[in-house]
Amino acid sequence: MAIVALALWLVWAVLAAAAHGELLPVSSPYVLSTLALGGGVVLGDVVSRAVPTAHVAMGVVALVALLLVATLVSPGVTGLPLGYANANAALAIQAMALSGLLLVRVRPNRRWVLMGAVAAAFVVLALSRSTAATALAVALVPVLWWAAGRGSAARRAEAPSTASSRRAPLVAGLVSGAAAIAVVWLARTDEWPSGLEAALSTARHTLWRDALSGATSHPLVGVGPGHLAEVSSLSTDVDLGAAHSAVLQVGAETGWPGVVLLALLTGTTLAWASHRGAAAATIGSSAVAAFTVHAQIDHLLEFAPLLLLLGIVVGVAGAPARSEQLDVAEGERPVAGRGRGPGEWSRREDRSLPG
């Protein structure tokens, strides 16, 4: 279903562009970010199944280290690696979530490395000075703590679906939907309270109002992908070329059907991340919710590397883990009556691993 949602989303963007007599360029975020998300899910699934957890953990630590070095070398609003501080902060949140997924699976004596990665991600957040991302990261920490407490063995992460694993995507979906509705409501409001205006900025208020106007004036196919400037009074400022809200930008550029497909894509992504057990489902759903909430008040959909990492988190959350202790995929055990040398494993039919 997630693949179908991705395909529908991409097809609708192509049709919205065609309705305005244009071809959707390959460089469009509607193409690159969509492919990045889908590719990330596949990559995360394959890596989780095929690569030993300890090796994946080292890769995540290296990723966070590179992110930290890039942020230290090039701080500020246009800092590396993505050229936008808030996007860098969103990248750090996804790295935290990926670290949390691995915390559930690695041996307890190796957790300190991943905890160090989470701490380094917080340093990136501090350097990025993103208030929204920092708040989301603080909310994510208790989730990681709870999930890690469920046990370090991969079989705990892959336990049969529970009420917690079913609630996780539902809660995340409600939070994401509430954020989108709140932004649309704020865009319809002529005057914001002074405190809210100061927190979100007058420019963002104007951008949201203009984007909503574009979606209302062109409800079926919008003004066309990449043409938000046609309805924005701030289009002369290159730094304000985006609506700084996913739901409003998509609505303005692809119409309300595009918004419906965006909601469908979010829902199927949550479902993909949430069918492997309570710990993985909660972390995966929280990562998706953190991104979608942040994307409602900032422009993040344009950053394909960020969508790639989000996809990897979703893919890892939804895939069966390898047992670090046995270095084989979870669900395999030694062949009865044989030695336990390399390669001497068979598929378990209906029993869990002992112990």
* 274-320 pLDDT, tens digit each: 887 889 999 999 999 999 999 999 999 999 999 999 999 999 999 98
At residue 323 the predicted structure's pLDDT band, cuts being 50, 70 and 90, is low
CA dihedral 253, 254, 256, 260 (to 10 degrees): -120
**Which range (3-17, 238-252, 291-305) has the least confidence?**
238-252
Q: What is the pTM of this model?
A: 0.88
DSSP-based helix, strand, coil % in the chain, nearest 5: 65, 5, 30
- Which residues make Cβ contacts (< 8 Å) with residue 136, sequence separation at least 6? 93, 290, 293, 294
DSSP string, 133-159: HHHHHHHHHHHHHHHHTT-SSHHHHTP
* 81-97 pLDDT, tens digit each: 999 999 999 999 999 99
pLDDT at 276: 79
Report whether pLDDT(124) > 90: yes
Report whether pLDDT(119) > 70: yes
